[in-house]
Structures are given as structure tokens and as C-alpha cells.
Structure 1
């Protein structure tokens, strides 16, 4: 605990303009950083630093504690809890700082801080190295002291036996003694049950007494802008009972979108069962059970959020989420889910979530609100692109091997015109070979579009042909049309006309060619150059136009004369 008086609310937030680093770091952000690095704690403002810590009262962040909480998170990525306490009408501000995740060091002004007595000092090399070499211990493998077989739920145990026997094709497994089953699955070690056994199998009251944060909260709101929930249900049962009850409750408010493919109509549910189950399984097997917050599921009519304590497992980021095999934070628990068929293979859950969601034409699963302290997954129920769903469905029926999740993600990015540097080139080449995408443009202006089949589904065939490679005549017509309205233009205007179709170098080459052919006239040099239609070209066009007009008039006169001639009998 760090105590500060701060009667007048004058504790600096970020060190202000103090010139010396050791003076600047004695601020709210500095203390929060150091406390987090050393396992969490409390910054208490409004109490004397000397024992017995007399309550003095403070005006620090009076009326703006929510803003302070948000600002700390924005600036250093630490998610504190800020609240007020009162004694004899004297206000105390408490900033409760969480413990850093394993292997993670937080910094203030690019310096990792630690507390040494009353001082905030740069972290020693020894302490820093010790932290970054940390490995997260498997909470689920640890022994749950005092837990006995009599504390396990009979129904949960029966479900475990049934699912394992089906997955392993071993009907005799159900007849084995409970002790042997638990031992074979490593839930029982040397006569002691593990935390995995507690989470998966313990009776409701035992689980709540020993690990109350293992519960799942399901909140329903009629509107996404609504803050208070309309209904809230606590699921406190062991996993093997909880997972079925939870899905059934979510599914009660599940709707569907009808999609028509010719004479055939099929329904796509708002919430895909496999996606929701995988998302919940991930939250349960990856969450940090040492943190006291439970899993929260927020259900809206057409969106579902799943929030669990603990950031992504070590080595996993937003950028490599579907590319790197994840290591479960609770390995033993995840292994049981795999062996009982709850999940197919450890680390594949996110793949399924992306695969099914994008295949249904919905928005990409959104993990962007996740951080070092929690994973936040947002799933949209809305089908944004019905044609993409039909496109993927038709591909999967025709190809000898189904598309991989990375191929579907790449197709979705190309559909959404994502920048070229965000595309996986290996996946792009595979899709080109399968003729599911087409390459357009040249050199730096290369871009990709979905194959013609997609535009057939969207009934936008004209858009497909519009995306064909642009030729010199199209360049000329586009430039002339622009100059007929604007009279003059700069090179940047021409580059803008052909954005995503031609590179700046390609545009300059064509414009220079038009200048040399005396179609355009250049005035000035370098970045100040302007272009207009050359007078010589305008004169040529007038001559051509007059010749065309004369030819048309001559033809019309001949036709009129032919009509007036008497017909031969």
C-alpha cells in the first residue's frame, strides 16, 4: 500500500513538467506502474503516510473517478479499479491496482519501475530478467487441498464418463470405478484431486465455496446502447452440467435469417451453436482463475459478448491469433475437454470461431477490446454479405478439400478491399491457383478481387467488368472527362482518379506520354506542374467532329433523296 495526503487534490497525474525523471515518476501513473509490476496493491490518497495513517481527506479527482480509471488504462494499459471511501465526511480515494500478468513488465516513460522504500526506482536488471522469464503455472493441475471424491457431482461424473466413452469409442469406460477414471485422466494424483476436477465436476455448493469466480454470468439486454441488464442468470454448476444449460438459455432468444439460393431457402441462426460453444470453452480453459472476476456473457438481440479474466496466453497477440497454435493457460482442463470430445483439438477453437462466422457472411469476430487483463470477444449475428455466404457454400461443395480458415479469412479481406500488406501471400497464391480470386493491375498497383462467381451471386456483373485492368483508352477518356469539368489538374488529381488501379509511377508514365503526344499541355515543373487539354488536340478534335458531322449530314441527304425517287414497277 502507498499512502498519500493530497488534501487539495494536487497529486500529479503524470509528473507534469518537472525536469528530473525521478521527480516526474512520483505521480499517479508512476505508483500504479510500480505497484502492478510488484504484484498489485493500493494507492490510497487522503491518508497520512505515517502510522497509524490518519484520515485527512482529499479532493483528488473529485467527480471524475471514472475518467481517471479510463485515463490510466489508456495511457499505460493497466486496468485499475478506482473508488471512494468516507470516514466522518472525509473522502479517501483508493486506486486498486491489479497484479501484472506472468512475464509482463509495465513501464512509465519507457522505464520499468519498482518501489524501493519510499522511492520509485528503475527496475533492476535481475528483477526484470526474472519477470520476463516467468512461465504461467497451470492452475488446473494444482492440487485442490481438502477436495474429496464425495464433493463431486454424480451427474457431472456420469456426463464425463459418457462423453469420454463416446469420443474414445470405449463403452466399457463407463463401468470403471470413479477413482480409476479420475486417476487415468490425471484429475486425481496420489489420492488428491486437482483444481481441474473442482471446475469440471464439483458439486455446485462446493465449487462456489472454494472457487466462486468459476461461475458464468449471462446478462440479456434488449438494446446494445442499454447499460442496465433486463435479465441476469448465474451459472454456478460444474462445467459438464453448466455448458449444456448455458447454451440452452442463450438459444431461447436465438433467431435466424432466411437465405434463398434459387428455389432453396435455408436459415442461418443469429448465434451459431458451434461458435458459441467454442467461445465459451475457450473462455473457461484459457481464463485466469486467480483473478476474482467471473466470465460475463452479454447477449443482445443481434450481438453476443464474452469476457473472461486474463489476457491472451503467452505468445498470442491480435495479429497472430489464428496463425499461432495457442497454449492453454489451464492445460489439464483443456486436455480433458479434448479427450471427452467437447473440443476437437486444443488450440483449434479460434479457428472454428472465425471459420463458421465468416462462412455465414457475418462480420469478423472482434477481439480488439482485449488487453493484458481480459479477453473480450464480440460476435455479430447480422449477415453483412449474403452473397459471400452463398459463394463460400458453393466453393465448399465443389472443391475436393474444404477451404482452410486462413483461406476464408483472406477471401474476406479481399472482399473488404483490405490493404495489400495485410494479406498472407501464401494464402493469396493458393487462392489464385484455385481460381477463387483474380489479380488486377501491375507492379506496385497490383490488387486482388474475388472471382466472377461472387459477382454473379451479388448480381453485380457490371462491377466485376469495371474492375478489369484499365487500358490507355480508359485512362485518356477519364482524364479528358475530368479536365472538361475542371479545366486544369495536378498530378495528384490524376493519381486520385486511378487510385488502387494504377500506381503513381504508372499514372505519371501515361500522363507524360499524353504530353509528348500533344494531348495534354504541361505548365510549370515539379510539384507545381499543372495540366490542361492542349489547344492542338482540341483543334484536331474539332476538325474530326466537323468531318463526322459532315459525313452524317451527307448520309442523311442521300437517304432523303433515295426516298423521293419514284419506284420502278
Structure 2
């Protein structure tokens, strides 16, 4: 019997169940199904709702048969693992539940999932049919956009939207072959229609979303809605909601967005380069992605909001299975609505390669602005924030000149991210840079080697502790020779002396102060403090965020 600490409180992935009166097997099965149909997690049997362990009932002292019981009473069979723990003198069971890729039910046909109530505590509730369909789309097991829409006929297609479709293909360089097709053939090629068992052509969700009449969309697809808001110092300058077909919606949005997106021009060599507040290519891709990849089973509008801090684009439905914030730039495309995504690619609206995120990154970093921020994304929505800070015109000039050297070919996105990260954070190691570009350290080093050869980046230190800055030539061209010397010239001994001097004056130092003082990354600052502590030059106090350091032999002030 092993020991294990009980989580602090219940959550979406943690459940406590008292077993003093023998928790019924049927309710235990339902609780495990709820976890499996949500995010997976663990159920602690023999623990009260407040986290107090009270022990297992006599009937549950031997849990060897529990996995078999759960497997026999669930469909498809749910595989769990059970471990028994001695905590505060009583025996409790930790039942670990994997997240299921398909909906799991009891053998009597009950589907359940977990949710958080308004007070933050979890509960089990039945899964409704549309929630089951939504979950299948999330895992890529079903394509809602390829399904026919109940009650819709070919008469619900709008001839004006058909014409807009053909004009859009011409304007955005879509698949020209589509222009040679008649209406029926075009509908089939783009998945706008499907045939019933009787051979009748009926509209799919993709067809209705792209060329459907607004009245039919409002009545048959109530989840489709687009909102555009402009806030100026918290005052509402624009606030409208529309249920237009997608091509019309994008056109309407761009028309209303342009007055709020001023631009100026910068002279770079013989060319005048426009510098907008928000890059229109990134804007179009962000909005189109939100409309294409949203969950059409969920109510809620795709929101596009411009305020004093920047542009925010959000859509209902979290990232699909397999896509995370750590692999956005490198994972293979996994559209939630494959038929709709393919149609919009062939029309020319979204990136044909499926790498639309790259286009959004490029639209920000090329102008020396911060990386796109997806950090507020959760399981219910994808939230993208694009900062509208002033462009770094020198960085833009650097990028344009490098592209001109390559006959106008855009810099690889990895190169652009590395240069932008070094511009922003001054000095970074290959491990830190690998997290920026979502690739392993070996691939990151190859990118860095190419930049070193190009004279844009300069390495410092030995192989093990090597860090990188923008090169002396880049700093010199920007007129910041002193800044380069400060970045490149500080040795390990100088870093140590700066840390010691700071503590002598202020009594203590924290990692964030070392980062600011020595112009080091988080990893570099941690290594410096760790080495000085191991050499008995510093004493560490506290753990995690509260950690600080004093000189050896001194008490903290």
C-alpha cells in the first residue's frame, strides 16, 4: 500500500466520494463516466467533499475486481487504474480515469459529463445529443460541416452569394478550375450539397454557411453569429452583430474595420512600405480561422473587438484534440470542420497550406510587434490577442532588406520568431528560443547557425552555456553600440559581481531582479543563482515564487 497526498479540492478533473455508508457501484460508474467524457482525471473513494479522508467501507477494502466491474458496466469499456493509499491512518482509493476519445455510456445507455457550477464545484450532468456531436468533432471523429441541415432545400441558396463566391475566387487567387464549373458541379466540388438515399441533392452546413440566404441561416443555424466591436477609452464607437453568410460577413467586417486601422508609409531603399495598425493579412486569417474552426454546436458569436490595447478575436469551442498552445506552430492542421475548411482554402480565403497561424505570426513580427497571444484560450473558446503597439521601423527595415537579398522571398517563420525574440528579450539560449518556435533544441540550433552565418545573430559562451544576441552589425546599424557591448561584454564574473553588489545594497535578490540587472533570460538567471548557491556564495530562502537569496553568512533583512 503506497502513500499519496489528496488534492486540495475538487475540480473538473478531481472528484471526492465518501464511502462510510458504502458508495453505490452504480453511482461510482456514473461518476467515472463523467470524468472520462470530460477531461479525464481521478476519483478519490473514501474522501469527504471537503477533502477529509474517512476511509473505505468494509465492502471496498479489496479493490482488485473494480477495473473489471467498470469495464463490464460501460460501453465502450472504460479502462481505469486503482491504487490504495494509507492517509492519516485510514485507507482510501485513488481511481485514475483516462480522457475517452469517444463518448462512454453506462450499459443502460446513460451518457454523462462533468461541469463546474457557479460556485466552482463540479457536478455530473447528462450529455445532450448536440454535446455528443460537438465532442465527436473535437476529436476529429465526425465532420458536422459535411452533414445536411434539416429542413433546408436548394432554394435556400442565395444567387447573389453564388456570384460573390465566384468574385472572391478571382480576387483572392482561389482554385481557378472552380470558375469553369456550373452551379451543380461547383456545389459538389466544394461540398455545398450531398445526396440523400433517394438521390436528392440537399445543402450541407458548409453550403448554407457560404452561400445560404440570411433568413435560412438565422432559422436553421442559430449558432452562427459575428460580432464587431470598437471601444475607444471604454466608449463604444461600433457595436454590431450579424448573421451574414461567411463571404459577405468577411467583406462587411473588413469594410467596417478599415476606418479604425490607419496606416503610414516607411521609406526603405527605393520602396515605400505601408505600416498599418493591424496587418490586414493577419486580420483576415484570424477572423476566417475563427469562423471556420468554431464549434457550430455551441451558441455564441465569433467576437472581433478592437480597443486601446489591441485586437481580440475569439470563437466558441476550444482547441481541437492534439492542438495545444505549445505546438500551434508545428502541429499538422486539424480542422474542427474539415469540409468547411477545405472549401474556404479552395476559395482562397484562408491559407491553402493550412498554416494560417504562421501568417498571423508573420503579420505581427514583421513589424517588430509582440507575438500573437493565445494565452487566454481555454476548453470553451479560442482567444487570440494582437497588440497594436507602435511598429519597430528599424526591425521592419531589417526584415525587408533580408527579403530583398532573397529576391523577395519571405523569411522563414522560425527565423522571424528568433530575431523578434532576441530583439525583445536581448539575450536567450537555444532552449528558451526553442520554446518560442515550438521546435526541439536541435532544429533551433540549425536555425541559429544559419542566422549566425548571415551575420544577424552572434553566439556567446561555450557550447553548454551558449547564449545568443543580435549581432554587433545589427546593433551598430541601429546606433546602439553601447547596448550591444552591455549584452555581449558581461562575463560570468561580472554577473556575479552585479548580484553581490545588489545584495550588499538591498539585502536580498530575486530571480526577476537578476534577469533585469544582468539582462539574462529566466533560465540563465536560474543557473547563475544555482551556481552561486552551490559555491556557497549565496544562501537560498524559500521556494518557488517567493524564493530570494542573501549573501553567505548574512541573515535576510
TM-score (norm 2): 0.63
Contact 2:292–2:341 (CA<8 Å) still a contact in 1?
A: yes
Is 1:143–2:148 an aligned residue pair? Answer: yes
Question: What is the CA–CA distance in structure 2 between the aligned matches of 1:324 and 1:485, rounded to whole Å?
Answer: 45
Structure label with greater radius of gyration: 1
Question: What is the CA–CA distance in structure 2 between the aligned matches of 1:189 and 1:469, rounded to whole Å?
Answer: 67
Question: What is the CA–CA distance in structure 2 between the aligned matches of 1:175 and 1:216, rounded to whole Å?
Answer: 31
Is 1:338–2:349 an aligned residue pair? Answer: no
Question: What is the CA–CA distance in structure 2 between the aligned matches of 1:341 and 1:132, rounded to whole Å?
Answer: 24
Q: How far off is 1:347 after superposition?
A: 2.2
- Out of 465, 468, 472, which is 1:448 matched to? 468
- 1:279 is matched with 286
Matched residues, number: 415
Q: How far off is 1:482 after superposition?
A: 7.4
Is 1:427–2:423 an aligned residue pair? Answer: no
Q: Which moved more, 1:481-490 or 1:240-249?
A: 481-490
Give a deviation string over 1:476-528, Cα, whole Å, max 9, x none: 9x9599779969999999x998674896499879x99xxxxxxxxxxxxx984
Is 1:410–2:415 an aligned residue pair? Answer: no
Q: How far off is 1:138 after superposition?
A: 1.1
Report the 3-state secondary structure (helix = DSSP H, G, I; strand = E; otherwise coil) of the residue aligned with 1:158: helix
Question: What is the CA–CA distance in structure 2 between the aligned matches of 1:487 and 1:291, rounded to whole Å?
Answer: 58
Question: What is the CA–CA distance in structure 2 between the aligned matches of 1:465 and 1:138, rounded to whole Å?
Answer: 56
- Out of 230, 249, 261, which is 2:256 matched to? 249
Report the 3-state secondary structure (helix = DSSP H, G, I; strand = E; otherwise coil) of the residue aligned with 1:213: coil
Report the 3-state secondary structure (helix = DSSP H, G, I; strand = E; otherwise coil) of the residue aligned with 2:329: coil
Question: What is the CA–CA distance in structure 1 between the aligned matches of 2:213 and 2:448, rounded to whole Å?
Answer: 51
Question: What is the CA–CA distance in structure 1 between the aligned matches of 2:252 and 2:181, rounded to whole Å?
Answer: 27
Q: Does the C-alpha gap of structure 1 residues 23 and 299 become closer, same or farther in structure 2, counting only changes over 3 Å?
A: farther
Question: What is the CA–CA distance in structure 2 between the aligned matches of 1:397 and 1:389, rounded to whole Å?
Answer: 12
- 1:317 is matched with 324
- 1:439 is matched with 459
Question: What is the CA–CA distance in structure 2 between the aligned matches of 1:33 and 1:140, rounded to whole Å?
Answer: 31
Question: What is the CA–CA distance in structure 1 between the aligned matches of 2:232 and 2:101, rounded to whole Å?
Answer: 38
Report the 3-state secondary structure (helix = DSSP H, G, I; strand = E; otherwise coil) of the residue aligned with 2:160: helix
Contact 2:309–2:388 (CA<8 Å) still a contact in 1?
A: yes
- 2:230 is matched with 220
Q: Does the C-alpha gap of structure 1 residues 334 and 463 become closer, same or farther in structure 2, counting only changes over 3 Å?
A: same
Question: What is the CA–CA distance in structure 1 between the aligned matches of 2:338 and 2:498, rounded to whole Å?
Answer: 66
- 2:204 is matched with 194
Q: Does the C-alpha gap of structure 1 residues 336 and 416 become closer, same or farther in structure 2, counting only changes over 3 Å?
A: same
Q: Does the C-alpha gap of structure 1 residues 250 and 460 become closer, same or farther in structure 2, counting only changes over 3 Å?
A: same
Question: What is the CA–CA distance in structure 1 between the aligned matches of 2:285 and 2:232, rounded to whole Å?
Answer: 24
Q: How far off is 1:284 after superposition?
A: 1.0
Report the 3-state secondary structure (helix = DSSP H, G, I; strand = E; otherwise coil) of the residue aligned with 1:316: coil
Query: Which consecutive residues of structure 2, in runs of 5 or more, have no partner in the other structure?
Result: 1-8, 24-29, 40-98, 104-112, 127-131, 196-200, 435-440, 537-549
Q: Does the C-alpha gap of structure 1 residues 113 and 344 become closer, same or farther in structure 2, counting only changes over 3 Å?
A: same
- 2:94 is matched with none
Question: What is the CA–CA distance in structure 1 between the aligned matches of 2:503 and 2:247, rounded to whole Å?
Answer: 70
Query: Which consecutive residues of structure 1, in runs of 5 or more, have no partner in the other structure?
Result: 1-12, 26-30, 41-99, 117-126, 513-525, 531-569
Give a deviation string over 1:336-383, Cα, whole Å, max 9, x none: 111111123252111100012101111111111110110011111223
Is 1:206–2:206 an aligned residue pair? Answer: no
Give a deviation string over 1:118-176, Cα, whole Å, max 9, x none: xxxxxxxxx9xx99995442110011123222111112111223444653334xx5464
RMSD value over aligned CA atoms? Answer: 4.6
Contact 1:33–1:107 (CA<8 Å) still a contact in 2?
A: no
Q: Does the C-alpha gap of structure 1 residues 23 and 408 become closer, same or farther in structure 2, counting only changes over 3 Å?
A: farther
Give a deviation string over 1:402-445, Cα, whole Å, max 9, x none: 32112211222222337633322323432322322111123553
Question: What is the CA–CA distance in structure 2 between the aligned matches of 1:132 and 1:194, rounded to whole Å?
Answer: 16
- 2:18 is matched with 22
Q: Does the C-alpha gap of structure 1 residues 268 and 384 become closer, same or farther in structure 2, counting only changes over 3 Å?
A: closer
- 2:95 is matched with none
- 1:397 is matched with 404
- Out of 311, 316, 320, which is 1:304 matched to? 311
Report the 3-state secondary structure (helix = DSSP H, G, I; strand = E; otherwise coil) of the residue aligned with 1:275: helix
- Out of 141, 148, 158, which is 1:153 matched to? 158
TM-score (norm 1): 0.62
Question: What is the CA–CA distance in structure 2 between the aligned matches of 1:312 and 1:447, rounded to whole Å?
Answer: 33
Q: Which moved more, 1:212-221 or 1:300-309?
A: 300-309
Question: What is the CA–CA distance in structure 2 between the aligned matches of 1:174 and 1:291, rounded to whole Å?
Answer: 34
